[in-house]
Structure 1
Amino acid sequence: MDLDWSALGEVAAVSLGVTVAVVVVFALGVLGLARVEGTRETDGGTHALGIAQAGLCFLACAAVVAYGIYLIVPQFH
């Protein structure tokens, strides 16, 4: 059995990088929601920037998950 260690390392590095990126983007989405809640408690209003930030971040996370499912399921190709 012969393993291509460089390809294995490349896959591991890319998967680690994407995982960290998705976690950071998701955390930024949660931060946006927290900003909305904080503004709502102090002013009684909403903060449009926080809602937009949360929406874009969660949409990006969903896109990464959908792309991963597309890569795994052969019927989608």
Structure 2
Amino acid sequence: MKIDWVALGTVFGVSLAATVALVGLFTLGVAALSRHEAAGAHGGSAPLARTGAFACFALCAAAVAYGIYLIVV
């Protein structure tokens, strides 16, 4: 049995990068939603923050759906 270490390292690197990107995107969404809530508590509004948060969450959902698609198909 021979292990292709280059391929294994590539899979590890891409998986790590995708995980960090997805977690970072979700974190940006939570931070933007928190900023929107804080602005609302002080009588202001931050519609761009809410739109950005929803965009981040939509991209996260799309990435998860694509991952499920890759597994199923």
TM over 0.5: yes
**What CA RMSD, in Å, does the superposition of the two structures yield over aligned residues?**
0.9
Cα distance, 1:46 vs. partner?
3.1
TM-score by length of 1: 0.90
Corresponding residue pairs, total: 73
**Which structure has the higher relative contact order (CA within 8 Å, separation 6+)?**
2
1:58 counterpart residue number: 57
TM-score by length of 2: 0.94
Q: How does 1:6-17 map to 2 (within 5 A)?
A: 6-17=6-17
Q: How does 1:1-77 map to 2 (within 5 A)?
A: 1-43=1-43, 45-74=44-73
Per-residue deviation, residues 2-50 of structure 1 (Å, max 9, x unmatched): 111100000000000000000000000001110111011111x431111
